[in-house]
Chains A and B, each alone.
Chain A
Amino acid sequence: MGNGYKMAVLIKQVPDTSSAAGVNPDGTVDRARAKRMINPFDKFALQKAIETRAAHGGEINVISMGPPPALEVLVEALEYGADYGYLLSDRRLAASDTLATAFALYKAITYLKDVDIVFTGLQTTDGDTAQTGPQIAERLDVAQITYCETMEIVNGRIQASRIIDGGIQKLETAPPALITIANSASRLEHKKFANVHMVKKLSRDKAEMERRIKTITLDDIGAEPERVGLLGSPTVVGKTWKLGEKGGSCQLFKGDKPSHEVELLVGAIKSDGKGVEEFVA
């Protein structure tokens, strides 16, 4: 392909639960106070796009759906080497479940026109569903490769290996395709100075910034409001409850003679009668 591949990488901003900020003592997250980051899985997707562009040329369009602060992850993606960013931000998208999210992102991808390859992370750390990618592929009516670890394009054909339970499957297909990248794929390379410098300059050049990163709405992409958000979501969260703490039930052995503690512990397990001895070799 002369001009390389037109790629879309879908990224999401998620709360950083490894940071103490905004994480309540019981493990729940206060999203307003939590630190924000690129969904770690999406970095593997961005890396695959960068590798593909390096080998064949083309352009990398990063799309994120979320409230205005999600602009941060697009800026960061440009620092990593993406060419253009699109923030799909619209209040009517609030409370979208995976089906509604997939519909909105499908419309955003078709708005970009003639995308050859869509890359996504395997899943997000906040939703953890791994559903949105395949649901977008269904709408786009394209082939999909999920759990992809490695891929290259040879004579216009995508050759990829994906993880399956108990092994690896090697697959071949042609663009257009949607590929979800596993977190065992190659890691995202460090930001290059030139890209970081370019992004820094963008902050002083409004016109160029708007050319590189666009904020788009449902109206821009032609998505019917009743098919997204609360209205377009076939599922709702009915009830949530905290995982029961079993606190206090742990029999703790500590002391300065480990061999003695271990003896007491194994003895206690034996007298439990839960059948562990059956599996001692």
Chain B
Amino acid sequence: MSQYEDIVVIADQIQNDLRPITFELLGAAQTLAAKLNVKVRAIVMGHNLGSIPQELIHNGADSVYVVDQPELAEYTTLTYRRAAISVIESFPRPPHIAICGATTLGRDLAPRIASHFETGLTADCTELDIGDYEHKGRADPSKMGTYNNCLYAIRPSFGESLKARILGPWKNPQMATARTGALIPFPTDTTRTGDIIPIKVKFEDSDFRVKVIETVREVSDALDLIRAKVIVSGGFGLGGAEGFEVVKDLASAFKESAVGSSRKAVDSGWIPYSHQVGQTGKTVRPVLYIALGISGAIQHRVGMSNSGTIIAVNKDEKAPIFQFAHYGIVGDLYEIAPLLKEQFKKTMAS
């Protein structure tokens, strides 16, 4: 038996579809759990969840707490808040760590849970780890001391070129949300077994203050950026919205590809926010990332620097993107993008 409590992962599912972040959270949680010698408990909320609890076990949960009730068919902050808090409060002691996705769901829900428990929450982490911490701050003597096996919640900081390790060992659960694409998923193993524990939650009238009128799924053939294997992104260097035609055309040369963009291109109104890669957009790690006319500001970099191969095309040889791309071409993207399309087909076919 470990002296520590288990780790809780709050599953991210929309309309009975487990989002990729859930598998990444389970992967990270298993790594942390091994260091603490504890287990990973998943909490999943929804309605008619079917095989989802099993799927969580196969992907790294040691046990699954299932709240499957009609009130949870659609995500709302207050109903999911009630369900998550009820499950966590049903444990004899607070979990050591609780993690959620830094998704539109997790970023909506996690702060309410953390505030309810009056505990610390670190947003948008790109790494999670376990380690010791000595607090020397003289301004708050009550916190002084050495703390073992704390959650290290690591995130890019303040839109600057810094990473920060955030700690909150004084209160459990130590909480964090993690960015999609940043953590390594647990390898699926369909022979894994674990306990599935149904929990019945009692709601209050006030939990239904917000009504869902309609959920509209984006009608789009474009693969979700996060799942794409190849991403071609355009930046301010495109010079206008029509530049994205060139981006799309190059993307069409690849399978499982998607179109991304920098924040500046989104801010200029050239492409919707859902395509934005970077600190205030999505974090991606495709096999291949091609950046067309993107300078490579830190805010973009933190969202894509873990891509397998990065190609940058920019007319400015001094652009920061050439400091972290694997390959770069200095030149006019409108000339080079079609050549790249042609050459990839030619070279890779031979």
Interface residues of A (CB under 8 A from B): 17, 26-29, 97-99, 102, 123, 125-135, 137-139, 141, 143-147, 159, 162-174, 182-184, 230-231, 233-243, 245-247, 249-254, 258-259, 261-263, 265-270, 272, 274-281
Contact = CB atoms under 8 A, between A and B. Distances in A.
A24 B19 CA distance: 38
Interface residues of B, number: 107
Contact of B273 (A29, A182, A249): A182
Interface string B136-179: 01011011000000001000111111111111101100000000
Nearest to A246: B324
Given A99-B118, A258-B335, A262-B339, A270 B348 contact: yes
Interface stretch (B25-33, B50-58, B106-114): B106-114
Contact of A238 (B75, B152, B325, B339): B152
B316 to A, nearest CB: 11
A171 B210 contact: yes
B116 to A, nearest CB: 6
A107 to B, nearest CB: 14
Contacts of B217: 166-167
A167 B212 CA distance: 13
B121 A131 contact: yes
Given A130-B123, A134-B115, A184 B218 contact: no
Contacts of A126: 158-159
Interface string B246-258: 0000001111110
B160 A28 contact: yes
B14 A166 contact: yes
A166 B330 CA distance: 35
A251 B322 CA distance: 9
Contact of B118 (A146, A162, A234): A234
A26 B287 contact: no
B65 to A, nearest CB: 22
A146 B343 contact: no
Interface in B315-345: 317, 322-332, 335-336, 339-340, 343-345
A28 B109 CA distance: 31
A27 B115 contact: no
A253 B328 CA distance: 6
A203 to B, nearest CB: 32
A233 to B, nearest CB: 8
B124 interface: yes
B131 to A, nearest CB: 9
18 contacts: A147-B108, A165-B14, A168-B218, A169-B75, A231-B140, A235-B122, A235-B166, A236-B166, A238-B166, A240-B157, A242-B163, A246-B323, A250-B324, A254-B329, A262-B336, A262-B339, A265-B343, A269-B309
Interface string B82-118: 0000000000000000000001110111111011101
A126 B51 CA distance: 41
Given A164-B104, A231-B140, A99 B120 contact: yes
